[in-house]
Each structure stands twice: as C-alpha cells, then as structure tokens.
Structure 1
Amino acid sequence: MKYWDQKNETMSGEELAALQLERLKNLAVRLYENVPFYKQSFDQTGIKPADIKSMEDLKYLPFTTKQDLRDNYPFGMFAVPMQDVVRVHASSGTTGKPTVVGYTKNDLTIWADLVARALTMAGATRTDLVQNAYGYGFFTGGLGVHYGTERIGATIVPISGGNSSRQLMIMQDFKTTILTCTPSYALHLAEAACEAGIDLKTLPLKAGVFGAEPWTNQMRNQLEELYGIMALDIYGLSEVLGPGVGCECAVKDGLHIFEDHFIVEIVDPETGKQVPDGERGELVFTTLTKEALPIIRYRTRDISVIRREQCACGRTHARIERITGRTDDMLIIRGVNVFPSQIESVLLEFGETEPHYQLVVDRKGSLDNLEVWVELSSSMFSDRVRFLEDLEHRLRHKILSVLGISARIKLVEPHTIPRSEGKAKRIVDRRELS
C-alpha cells in the first residue's frame, strides 16, 4: 500500500489552497469566539476573523508561543467545554509549568489517521508488527504511534522505552517488523544487541520510524547499516498534535507535512517575518482541524526549510528538511551559532568515534569555551598517545572548518557518555551555574 489516504495526500495545489483557506477562516472564528486569549490577541493586533480573505492574510495574524500556553495553564487555551475533552497530554518541559494539550474524540480520530499516513510511508500494513519503544503517558509519542498502528490494523507491541534486554528479546521472539523510538535510543539498542551477540540484520525488521529529536543523514546511514532497515524521520510536537504532523516517505527527500490539517510557515527567528521557500528559519504551524486545542501560528523554535516541489513519491504536500536544531537549543559560542547536529555530522564522518557525544560549555573570565566529549569506538580504542593526539587534532581542525570556532576535544572510553532512553542530553552548559 503506497498511500494511506491517497485523495488527500495527492490533491492538487488549487484544491489544497481552497481547503486551507476555508478551514483557516473557520478556525479564526472558533478561536475568536471560544478562547479569550485569542480574542484579546486579535483585538490587540486589530484583526477580526472577517478580515481573512486570502492565505496572504495569514501573516497578519498573531503568533502563539509556548509561554502563552503556560500562562493559560492548565485549560485556558481549550476551545471546547471540558466535557468534550476525552484526553489530555502535557509536554515534558524542564522549567516552568508544562504545556497542556487536549483532544476531543474527533481529534483522536484525525491523529490516528495522520500517524497511519506516516507509518504507511514506512511500509506498514495489517501484516506488520510494530514495536513501539516511545514513552507512554503524558508524552504524546507512545500513544500517538499506538493508535496510528491500530488504525492501520497492524499489531502493536506497547513496550514503551527502556529495558533494552527485554526490547531485544521481544524483537527476536515476536519477530518485530517495524521499530519506533528516538534515533538515539535506536543506536543504544543496536549497541546492546552487539554486546549480546545479536545480529540485528538477521531479524525480520524492515523499517524504523524515528523522531522526537534532531538527527542527521549520517545517523540514518548508520542505523540502516546496523539494523538492515529503512530508517525514516517522523515529525510532530505536542502543542500542534504529537507525532504525525509530518513524516519522510521512502524517497527520503524531506518530511511531508500534512497540509490538509496544518499550515506550515518559515519565519525569521529574530523578526518574525515570513521568509521565502528554500530559506532556513523557524517553523510555524497553524492547526486547521483540531477541536480541543486549535492553535494559530505556533512558533516551534525548530529550524528547517520548506520545499514545495512535488515529491517523486507522488505526494503533493509541502516538505520540510530535517530539523537542524532549535533556536532554544542553539549555543552561541564567541558570537557563533552552534547546533549539536553540526557536531554530530562531523563525528559521524570520521567513523573512528561513536555517535555518543556531549557539548560542554564553560566560561573562563569573559570567554566562552566549548569542549566536545566524544566516545571512541571499541575497535578504535587505544592507549597509544600518538594515535589519540592525531585523532584529537583532526577532529578539532574539522570542527573549526565547519563551525568557524575552535573547540577542545576530549576523547573518552566506550560507554562513558550517559545513555538516554528518550531524548539524548547533548548539551551541558556550565555557564548557567556561574
């Protein structure tokens, strides 16, 4: 099965534009009439729902931020009565109040359909067994993938994250065909399999749907080699829906955004102005069909690029390039913007280190210093001083050429960097402690 919903996934540009405009107008009315925050935002901007005549008018509408959701904690942004809300999730923020999201029964139906679209891109059918190692609970990843799998009619294994030995046992005994988890945890599982003497390529696995954190094509290549699978990137965020906002297809040339349900924009992170397609900036989403928590022009802080040419797979929706980082994950080191994914790309090019690393930032006097802690692979681990010095020098030179800043390299033994069963912790910013 090539498409889950061919009619909507391949609609013409004219059909899609008309549908989006109709839904945007309806959304603006619902928000203005039902959410006090949006009525105030519209009034302060001098906009009324009736002023929306074309998609060009989108740029005049106010932004929504994570802080707005926190300021209206817990249910102040909901557009329906609580008796119509059948589920709530919350983000896993580390500071301040969590952002709470709600779903009506219809919201959950749409969510399952969109995740079914994504899993179908990975080749999922009713005959597949999906091992879901995303976390369950408040985090949207686990349950989002769960109900999308059931929507297809495939078999779901709701194993959640952690307990790698159990994961591998189930993978072998149940004959898992699709694995879903964060890419960093997929690497961790592959490492555990190697230690246990398990050759993942001998298992029936055919695809992995990995998301919830930025990752690179180099990491994709590594995962595909380790598992013998097709590895695809899935995109979503709790405030907009959860997993299923977009996903890569087998062409692996960008993530399809399901534009019949979302409007996607790129804006300049500093000015908030829209930037042309093809230019890098911050992703902004407007939900068109959500009932409990519709949201307009949500600033994600994710950095990407929009491309609108039709994909070779036949889908016509816009695609975004892989997330290269977040504006709030971005480090500024001596005036230079640094994203962890840039460092990861350098490390994976070498092949002499593992993709397990941490960026440690400290401040000596008024000068910021970057130290990259990176694991040597077991095969390359050595106590030969000359070898280690040469590798450090080459890594330092490569990072300087790519990022334009110098960094200290600290090569550490295998298994030294803490492993994560969820999102990998890539940054240790000691400047905040001084």
Structure 2
Amino acid sequence: MYWNKDIETISRKDLEALQLKKLHKALQAASTTPFYKKVFEENHINIDAIKTLEHIKDLPFTSKNDLRLSYPDGMVAVPRKEIVRMHASSGTTGKSTVIFYTAKDIKDWADLVARCMVATGATPDDVFQNMMGYGLFTGGLGLHYGAELLGCMVIPAASGNTLRQIQLMQDFETTIIHITPSYCLHLVEVIRAEGIDPYAMTVKKAYLGAEPYSEATRKKIEEQFGIDAYNSYGLSEMNGPGVAFECTYKNGMHIWEDYYIVEIINPDTGEVLPPGEEGELVLTHINREAMP
C-alpha cells in the first residue's frame, strides 16, 4: 500500500542523491537567516564544502535552546508575506519554540501524513475522528489535513467531551481515531460504562501519539477496543506528526528519508554510530521552506 510509490520504493542510491540535492538547497536557504548566518560564520562552515552526505557530521547541531534563542523569527528564511501559519510549543519548560510554514510546507506536511495513513491501510472510504487538540499544538491540524488529502471524511472533534466523542463515533460510523494513549484507555472505559460494546462499533484503527506508551499499553488498547493501534511519531521542530509511522506489520516505524536525514550519534562524543547501535536520534529536515 503506497501513497507515493516512486518515492516509497526508491533505491538507496537514488534516495541518497536526492537527499544530497535537497541538503544543498536547505543549507543555501538557511545561510540567509540571521541565526544560521551567525552559526556558520562562528564555526567556519563553508556550505559549498558539503560534497557528500557524510559531510553532514561537520555541521553543528541545532537544539531546542537554539530555537528559543532565535525567537521569534531568527531562523525564518522567507519573507513574512510567504508565511501562512505558525505553531508553537506550550513553553512549559522555557520560552515557547515557534515553527513557521509556507503554503508549500503545509502541502508537503499533509502529503507526508497521507503516506503514513495509507501505510496503515487507510482509504478514502474511512471516517477519521480527530481527538487531538487543535490550536498552536501541531497534533490536531497535522493529521487533519493529511486525512483530508487522502479523501477521508474528517470529524474535527478535538480533545475531551467524551460522551460527545462517543455519540459522533456512533452517528457517523467513525473508522479511525487519532488520540493519546491515556485518553484512548479512558474512552473505552466510558464506552463500556455507557453499556456499549466497543467490539460492535465501527472503529478499526487508532493512531496513538503525543505521549510515550509501552507495548503493554498498546496491547491493552487493542484488546479492550478490538482495534489496531499504530504509533505516530513527530515533533514540532520537524513539522509535527507525520515524521515516522508504523505500517500494518507494526514492527517498527517508517521514517520518510526524502524529507529527513537520520543519524544516530553518541551523545557524549557526537560521533555518528553504525546501524544497530543505540544512541541519540538526530534529524535534519531537508524539505522545508520557511525554517530550513
């Protein structure tokens, strides 16, 4: 099941060539921003010297603190008139981090989410009930537009109001829900308390995100609800949800490498580790216009 078969089945050689081409474009754009212009100068980075993907190790990391230091728009690479949306973190651990999007960024984000959904077997016949919060949080709108692009009927229910959620699920025969793991467990408890058999409902899939959970929690959700639960991974700095997703095999997550260069590093030394080694995940977005 593919949304974009040419990209999703691309050879490693062709993928790496595409990544390098996009990396060069992203670096050129980043070098025009106040933040990265200063970073490149202070670290004596010559972006024209990045000739291979291996050279990415010579680039400095960008941290959440860097995003805060560049607040509000020190990393923006396009004129303000080209920005169509912004999202932001809650700021509970410090100054809020803000992410900006052009119209193309929004379109590309929706396309990634559609890929994710198709990988789980979703089709235009599905009814997608979004129980994630909307607003500055990326979780709600992120999957909303991807589901619409796929052709699903979208119910933008947002979070909370559990009895109303259940009523919507019954009235409109919801087949997919997007929800946090903890709220999903609460939802199924309320469904049973209302005398409804969860197995008799039309829901077939749950996309779980926005908080960590264990395999035991996933199994509990699947057994109590009679559905397939899929792990959704994302972070606002990389768009939001849609960075990586499980497919129907649920045996690990697929990350979209035509949009992200993935490295696993030793957090103490910064050394890039070989496949199979545990370390810290480092992502480089190579497809974004507003904030490369």
TM-score by length of 2: 0.97
Is the 8 Å Cα contact of residues 177 and 206 (structure 1) preserved in structure 2? yes
Is the 8 Å Cα contact of residues 132 and 180 (structure 2) preserved in structure 1? yes
> 1:73 and 2:71 equivalent?
yes
User: 2:253 maps to which residue?
Assistant: 255
Q: Secondary structure of the residue that 2:55 maps to in structure 1?
A: helix
User: 1:419 maps to which residue?
Assistant: none
Rounded to whole Å, the distance in 2 between the matches of 1:248 and 1:213 is: 16
Q: How far did 1:188 drift? A: 1.4
Rounded to whole Å, the distance in 2 between the matches of 1:190 and 1:275 is: 42
Rounded to whole Å, the distance in 2 between the matches of 1:81 and 1:122 is: 37
Rounded to whole Å, the distance in 1 between the matches of 2:88 and 2:126 is: 30
User: 1:120 maps to which residue?
Assistant: 118
User: 2:104 maps to which residue?
Assistant: 106
Matches within 5 A, 1:31-180: 31-32=30-31, 34-180=32-178
Q: How far did 1:219 drift? A: 1.3
**How many residues matched?**
292
What do the CA deviations read for 1:253-298 (whole angstroms, capped 9, x no partner)?
111000001111112223322222212222111111100011xxxx
User: 1:346 maps to which residue?
Assistant: none
Aligned residue type for 2:153: T
More helix per residue: 1 or 2?
2
Unmatched tracts of structure 2, length 5 or more: none
Rounded to whole Å, the distance in 1 between the matches of 2:275 and 2:186 is: 36
Rounded to whole Å, the distance in 2 between the matches of 1:151 and 1:102 is: 21
User: 2:15 maps to which residue?
Assistant: 16
Aligned residue type for 2:71: Y
Q: How far did 1:60 drift? A: 0.6
Structure number with bigger Rg: 1
User: 1:187 maps to which residue?
Assistant: 185
More strand per residue: 1 or 2?
1
Q: How far did 1:198 drift? A: 1.8
Q: Secondary structure of the residue that 1:252 maps to in structure 2?
A: coil
User: 1:277 maps to which residue?
Assistant: 275
Rounded to whole Å, the distance in 2 between the matches of 1:241 and 1:162 is: 24
User: 2:4 maps to which residue?
Assistant: 5
Q: Secondary structure of the residue that 2:219 maps to in structure 1?
A: helix
Q: Secondary structure of the residue that 1:239 maps to in structure 2?
A: helix
Rounded to whole Å, the distance in 1 between the matches of 2:197 and 2:268 is: 48
TM-score by length of 1: 0.66
Is the 8 Å Cα contact of residues 208 and 230 (structure 1) preserved in structure 2? yes
Unmatched tracts of structure 1, length 5 or more: 295-434
Aligned residue type for 1:6: K
Is the 8 Å Cα contact of residues 262 and 284 (structure 2) preserved in structure 1? yes
Q: Secondary structure of the residue that 1:42 maps to in structure 2?
A: helix
Q: How far did 1:218 drift? A: 1.4
User: 2:241 maps to which residue?
Assistant: 243
Q: How far did 1:65 drift? A: 0.6
Is the 8 Å Cα contact of residues 115 and 148 (structure 1) preserved in structure 2? yes
* Partner of residue 230 from structure 1, selected from 228, 244, 259: 228
Q: How far did 1:44 drift? A: 2.1
Is the 8 Å Cα contact of residues 122 and 209 (structure 1) preserved in structure 2? no
Q: Secondary structure of the residue that 1:86 maps to in structure 2?
A: strand
Rounded to whole Å, the distance in 1 between the matches of 2:275 and 2:241 is: 24
Rounded to whole Å, the distance in 2 between the matches of 1:79 and 1:85 is: 10
Rounded to whole Å, the distance in 2 between the matches of 1:168 and 1:280 is: 41
Is the 8 Å Cα contact of residues 249 and 256 (structure 1) preserved in structure 2? yes
How many percent of aligned residue pairs carry the same amino acid?
51
Larger RCO of the pair (alpha carbons < 8 Å, separation 6+): 2
Rounded to whole Å, the distance in 1 between the matches of 2:131 and 2:91 is: 20
What do the CA deviations read for 1:145-177 (whole angstroms, capped 9, x no partner)?
110011001100000000111111111121100
Rounded to whole Å, the distance in 1 between the matches of 2:269 and 2:162 is: 45
Rounded to whole Å, the distance in 2 between the matches of 1:30 and 1:293 is: 9
Rounded to whole Å, the distance in 1 between the matches of 2:279 and 2:211 is: 17
Aligned residue type for 1:129: V
Rounded to whole Å, the distance in 1 between the matches of 2:2 and 2:97 is: 33
After TM superposition, which residue ranges in structure 1, 4 or more long, deviate above 6 angstroms?
none
Q: Secondary structure of the residue that 1:218 maps to in structure 2?
A: helix
Rounded to whole Å, the distance in 2 between the matches of 1:105 and 1:15 is: 27
Rounded to whole Å, the distance in 1 between the matches of 2:98 and 2:221 is: 33
